[in-house]
Amino acid sequence: MKNKVIGIVVCIFLIVTAVPAVTSSPHNPASLRVANASIAHGETRGNESPVAEFTWTPQNSSTYHQITFDASASYEPNGTIISYAWDWNNDGAYDETHSTPITTNTWIKAGSYPISLQVTDDNGTTGVITKTVNVSNITISVTISSGLGVTVMFTNKGPVNVTEVPWRLDVKGGIYGHINATSYGSLALDVGESAPRGTSILLGLGPISITVLVGDQETKHTGIQLIIFTLILP
């Protein structure tokens, strides 16, 4: 009987020692590899914000000149940009929105303008950038000539072409103030280009005052009306 009990114990010991131990210890390299593989398999990358960027040409511009803005350098790391919104006066309200990156804008007042661009991707995530654009006054010379009526020669002396520049010519005076003539319109002048504008023939006699306004630039002059001939004084 004693021998039988000993034999059973020996068999149990042999069976236990023959089975390899399985451990879930974090120090087991195999279990770490399995855990890491499971995490990597279930991992999803979060939506990153798009990056807004833009340039403009010309860099040194003036009033009444169309400036081109290009946001083609904007990008979305894991999606697509679907809209470009522009705030031209930094008031927090976007003035125009486009599906394409290129647009234009014109200022009629000189100054430094902070421009904000907001790009939006196909997940509704946005990116914003603000840059400052410096706009100088136009440089248009005014030459007033004598003749049958008042003639003004406008010449673009600036570094850029200009468009839609408003101009106005007022001639007033004469004996009893009977002379009162006004002409106005808009100008489009390339660099170095000139354009004449003026009044029709004036009828009267006596001193006159002449005021020319082009953009925000005002020029005043005096002359004498000699019946139908207008003489500009030096």
Last residue of a domain, one of 91, 119, 136: 136
Domain holding 131: CATH number?
Answer: 2.60.40.10
**Comparing 24-33, 34-43, 187-196, which segment has the lowest mean pLDDT?**
34-43
Which of 84, 106, 136 represents a domain boundary (last residue)?
Answer: 136
Task: Please check whether residues 155 and 198 belong to one and the same domain.
Answer: yes
Is residue 193 predicted with pLDDT exceeding 60?
Answer: yes
**Residue reference for tokens 């000993």:** 6
For 100-114, b where at least 16 C-beta lie within 10 A, e where not — what string? Answer: ebebebbbeeeeebe
Model confidence at 131: pLDDT above 80: yes
Tell me which DSSP letter residue 49 carries.
P
Do both 144 and 128 map to the same domain? no
Given a cut of 90, is residue 25 above it in pLDDT? Answer: no
Same domain, 83 and 64: yes
Considering only CA atoms, which of 200, 211, 216, 207 is closest in space to residue 169?
Answer: 211
Run of H or E including 143: strand 140-145
Q: Which domain holds residue 109?
A: 55-136
Q: Which pair of tokens denotes residue 11?
A: 């068999």
**Structural domain includes residue 221:** yes
**Domain count along the chain:** 2
Is the CB of residue 60 less than 8 Å from the CB of residue 136? Answer: yes
Find the helix or strand (DSSP H, E) in which 32 lies: helix 29-42
CB neighbours of residue 144 within 10 Å: 21
Give buried/exposed letters for 178-204 (b at 16+ CB in 10 A, else e). ebebebeeebebeeeeeeebbbeebeb
Task: Say if strands 61-62 and 126-136 run parallel, antiparallel, or are unpaired.
Answer: parallel
pLDDT digits (tens, 9 = 90+) for 137-180: 999 999 999 999 999 999 999 989 999 999 999 999 999 899 99
Output the average pLDDT for the chain: 85
**Prediction pTM value:** 0.70
Among residues 91, 121, 136, which one ends one of the domains? Answer: 136
**Residues 181, 131 share a domain:** no
Residues 190 and 220 in one domain: yes
Does residue 161 form part of some domain? Answer: yes
pLDDT at 103 over 80: yes
